């Protein structure tokens, strides 16, 4: 199974962010960019790739431990940008940071990556520094360089904040129309009995 750990977005945040995206997405050439459906928006903490057999259960145990040792978070949306870089774009994203001066989000992401290192035995999400983001569009084939003058006309991402009390282990199912996600387990932050089974999203 193709797995990743992530944080879901509350429906009110998705709704407000959708309003911004629907008004601004025209600044990206629709011939070169495919929007991600809003119900699939999420914040990835660590991507594990293909995981099979007992490694899935071991990974879930490690994530449960990460969650037990993490405090609830308050996150906020902010800027936007491209991965891996504007000169070679593959993904257009909206940034997510922890509200205030805390570093709990980075610590949680680091723990989720280490969970993959320990159980899947391969490096996760490369070793680039963690940068919280929501992928809202993906390139179609090879995108032309974005028109930076046009992007400067794009309205700022609204600053939206929300509380986070749980993380999820997801299965990513690749389909011609784009990936679909199945929530395998949910882990409550700072909880003792913190695991529940998930569902498709």
Please name the residues in contact with 81: beta carbons below 8 A apart, sequence gap of 6 or more. 92, 93, 95, 133
Helix, strand, or coil here: 43?
Answer: strand
Structure tokens at 52: 């099979």
Q: What is the DSSP letter of 178?
A: -
Given the residues 32, 39, 133, 142, select the one marked as catalytic.
Answer: 133
Question: Is-catalytic flag, 32?
Answer: no
| Among candidate residues 97, 39, 46, 93, the one with its CA nearest the CA of residue 67 | 46
Q: What is the DSSP letter of 26?
A: G
Question: Is-catalytic flag, 107?
Answer: no
Report whether 25 contacts 137 (CB < 8 A): yes
- Point out the residues that are catalytic: 42, 133
């Amino acid at each position: 199974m193709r797995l990743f750990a992530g944080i879901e977005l509350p429906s009110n945040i998705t709704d407000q962010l959708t309003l911004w995206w629907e008004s601004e997405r025209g600044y990206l050439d629709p011939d070169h960019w495919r929007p991600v459906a809003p119900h699939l928006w999420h914040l990835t903490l660590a991507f594990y790739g293909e995981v099979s057999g007992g490694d899935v259960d071991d990974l879930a145990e490690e994530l449960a431990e990460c969650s037990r040792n993490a405090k609830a978070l308050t996150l906020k949306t902010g800027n936007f940008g491209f991965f891996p870089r504007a000169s070679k774009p593959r993904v257009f994203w909206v940034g997510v940071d922890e509200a205030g001066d805390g570093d709990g989000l980075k610590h949680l992401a680091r723990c989720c990556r280490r969970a993959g290192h320990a159980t899947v035995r391969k490096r996760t999400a490369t070793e680039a520094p963690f940068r919280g983001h929501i992928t809202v569009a993906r390139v179609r084939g090879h995108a032309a360089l974005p028109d930076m003058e046009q992007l400067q006309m794009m309205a700022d991402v609204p600053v939206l904040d929300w509380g986070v009390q749980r993380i999820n282990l997801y299965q990513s199912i690749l389909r011609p129309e784009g990936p679909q996600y199945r929530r395998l387990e949910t882990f409550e932050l700072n909880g003792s009995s913190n695991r529940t089974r998930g569902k498709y999203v």
